[in-house]
Amino acid sequence: MGCQCLNKNKEDEINAELKDDLNKTEPEIINVFNKEECENLMEIKKNEIQDKITDLDSQIDNAKEETVNRFNFRVLELINKIRKNPPSYANTVLDNIKNITVEGNKTVFRKKVKVLLNKGESEFKNAADILKKTNPMNELVSKKEIEIPLPLSYEEIHDNLLLINQVNIIRQNFNVNVYFKNLIKNPEIAVLMLIVDDSVDNPGMRRNAILNPKFRKIGINSKFIGNTFVSFFSFSK
């Protein structure tokens, strides 16, 4: 009996020591495991999120590139279609009068995009009358050499002095008769607004360039700066 008690006491003592050792080491092992596991999981999640962001950025860039390519192609197509038969586009201009509304004290055009107008309906009718009296003319040919370099930042989009300087550089080697800026990314609406040309600054100048039979060349350069679309038009004889 004495031996059994001694062995029992010894066993209990050993078990107690083992338990103490386990109590000391287990939290440390768990903490190290959890920290490493968390870091690994965080890194995996971080990489997954970065991959998704990269994929999304790539999709956005591709979509923007497609928009730019479509705009350049479609705008030239529309302009040449109008030049070949100006009176036929008069009906398109008149049909779009229904999209003019007054919001507060502002006259706006609403169809896919919102465009602030100066005179509104009267200028649409004026453009239609001019188109009806305009004779067919030659198509314009797209020329890279007269394309105006695009701005690099949002601030440069509205820097008219920079635009003038860029055109003057081109004029050292190539003839540029008329140039202007456009901020509408929908090609159909952009061309409509250029033909109506209901602007405060040089009204009619853009329409006159598009309908000038002496012009033979056109430069259209477009891009997105952030989410802002900008295109420069240039015309040459």
pLDDT tens readout for residues 124-150: 999 999 999 999 999 999 999 999 999
Instruction: Give the pLDDT confidence of 21-70 residue by residue, as tens digits.
Output: 555 545 554 555 566 667 666 766 666 676 666 665 566 667 788 889 99
Please state the rounded mean pLDDT for residues 90-108.
Answer: 96
CB-CB contact of 196 with 211 (8 Å): no
pLDDT band at 229 (very low <50, low <70, confident <90, very high): very high
Residue 90: both structure tokens together? 């008069």
DSSP reduced 3-state for 3: helix
Give the residue carrying structure tokens 């198509």.
139
Q: Give ∠ CA 104-106-108 in degrees, rounded to 5.
A: 115
Note the Cα 7 to chain centre separation in Å.
84
Q: Share the mean pLDDT of the chain.
A: 85
Instruction: Give the pLDDT confidence of 198-214 residue by residue, as tens digits.
Output: 987 788 999 999 999 99
CA 109/CA 91 separation, integer angstroms: 17
CA 200/CA 117 separation, integer angstroms: 9
Rounded to two decimals, the pTM is 0.74
- Determine the pLDDT at residue 112: 87
Residue 54: both structure tokens together? 């990269």
CB-CB contact of 93 with 174 (8 Å): no
pLDDT band at 6 (very low <50, low <70, confident <90, very high): very low
Please state the rounded mean pLDDT for residues 179-191.
Answer: 96
